[in-house]
Amino acid sequence: MSNKRSRDHGGDEAAEEDERASRRPILDESFFDRPSEPTSRTAEDLLAQAETRAGVTNDDVTNDGDGSAGAIDAKHVRRLVLAFERAYAENVKARAKYGNEPRKFAESEIELDCEVKRLGTLASAPELYEELVKLNAVPSMVAVLGHENEDVVADALEVLRELTDSDAVESDENGGKALATALRESGGYQALYAALTRFEDASGKLKATSSETSNAVSSVLGIVENLGEIMGTQVDDASGESSNKALEGFCEETDLLKWLLKRVEKKRDVDQNKLYASEILAIILQSSAKCRKQCVDMNGLESLLQAASAYKKREPEDDGEKELVENLFDAICAVAMVPENKAQFVEFEGVELMLILLNGTRGDAKKTSFASLPALKCLDYVLSGNKDACNRFIDGLGLKSLFSIFMGRNAKAVRKTFGNEAALEQQTRSSSVICSLFKHVDNTDRRDRLCAKFVEQDYAKCDRLVELWVEFAKRVSAEQARLENVDEDLGIDLTEEEEYLQKLDAGLATLEHLTLVFAHLWATDHAPIMRRLYLDASQNAIALSDLRDILRQHAHHVGDSAGDSAREGTVRAILSVLPYAPGEREQS
């Protein structure tokens, strides 16, 4: 795999020159038009330090064999590092001596670029990353990110992206973490951010439209993503808050978060880097509570809502832009799902914006807007546990759009355009939103408007409620049977909590929401609604005790983390929502 040249003293000079030429990049005017800056590290210092760290002689470098893939071992790493450090030292020396004569240090620049690329061969041997770190090569790699020649910087970024790629480090977690830690300790985060911004002008546009410039920006974002994966996201058991040391480090030590928010602005054209910026932004906000708070403190939620507003009247043009929209809404949901941030979401009229996007499906059952799907998801997050958001939803005339989705009036169009999973998500999200409204809307007028929806059109929504209940009850029963077979056939004993989580994913969460809606409707004491629900349930062999069992299970797990006494209180409170029918006795 190595492209290392043989430097045996007895080699053919002509062949060596031919090989040197084959590695030489095209030298145009832009290559030589680079400013020179003084450095505090002399070439002799760099070379001496490199040789001491590597512990190899000059002969080891000049007589390196054929450089085949099988030669990658600790000794090979030392040779690569020494050759890289030597090329870097020679380039520093040449630039210092011939700062105003680019052609005289061009050869050393070529050598440095080649040695930087050769370091990329280590991506196939992550178990040797710790050796790379021990040789103290990382500080020099970071220093190259500030090189005057942007072509060298771009190549160094690509190498770092390869070395930190998840496919490269998955076979040796310790090696990946050693490299990631060394990068941060060597000032790598600041150097990466500086490299990111150097390819742009003051307005934030790329200085050049070439693919190389765009790829350099993508490489930095890729390294950020890779380092986040290497260090991993942890969730605190007590608070439930997530953290990622690498991503938090970037946001604390640089203006990366601000840069990302600016790159996803509504006014910016959609390109590969805007798409990638939206993806990294969503990853950061989903992975770290600290970063979410920092985003809110810099008015990032408002910026995200403005970016999403671009799709009120138009559809994404291609799959790439669709991915951009999904990333934007993932970022909004990550911020807005935090209880203290929901008030700001309401203040910025986020509920009204989501309703506008949701209404893209209204009036034409044969069409559905792409943004309506993530908008419903966002409403589900925001309305859960927030009274003000629920009130704004009803005041904003959201019930009509919501119940249109609940009734499945555009399900065929959604299924045809976006697939079965999207249609299923609409069912689950709409049921969850209705459940949140019943839980948190206590104003008499608003609650009456909500309940009135189940009376209109001859109680059609009561019928739909029971119809969906039966559908999701079947899904849960099928999952229960599957889990029992897994226990029996594979001898895997899942805990009660593990089984419950599996069933939640299979549809139990929606079944619980539908049951809670049924219970709240029953508790209204509205005789016509109660009669219709009781009739629908009886026709489908559903007893009120079946519903109560689901409520008991839901309450038990919802209050599980608060202790036995709190859990018992939660169970009693939820069960009280569904009174007993005449003659029915509680089955303890």
Per the prediction, the chain carries an average pLDDT of: 84
Residue 11: per-residue pLDDT: 45
Per-residue pLDDT band at 560 (split at 50, 70, 90): low
Paired residues of 243 in beta bridges: 234
pLDDT digits (tens, 9 = 90+) for 398-440: 999 999 999 998 899 899 989 999 999 999 999 999 999 999 9
Residues 355 and 456: their CA atoms lie apart, in Å, by 22
**What is the average per-residue pLDDT within 283-311?**
95
Extents of the domains making up the chain: 1-195, 349-453, 479-575
Q: pLDDT at residue 35 above 60?
A: no
pLDDT digits (tens, 9 = 90+) for 490-544: 667 778 888 899 999 999 999 999 999 999 999 888 999 999 999 999 999 998 8
At 424, phi and psi to the nearest 5? -65, -40
The pTM score is 0.83
3-state secondary structure of 148: coil
pLDDT digits (tens, 9 = 90+) for 431-482: 999 999 999 999 899 999 999 999 999 999 999 999 999 999 999 999 998 8
Which residue from 455, 443, 357 is spatially nearest to 392, judged by alpha carbons? 443
Per-residue pLDDT band at 585 (split at 50, 70, 90): low
Question: Are 129 and 178 a contacting pair, CB within 8 Å?
Answer: yes
- Pairwise pLDDT comparison (485 vs 39), residue with the higher score: 485
Q: pLDDT at residue 374 above 70?
A: yes
Q: b/e per residue, 291-319, with b = 16+ CB within 10 A?
A: bbebbbeeebbbbbbebbebbeeeebeee
Q: pLDDT at residue 365 above 60?
A: no
Residues 285 and 422: their CA atoms lie apart, in Å, by 24
Residue 519: per-residue pLDDT: 93
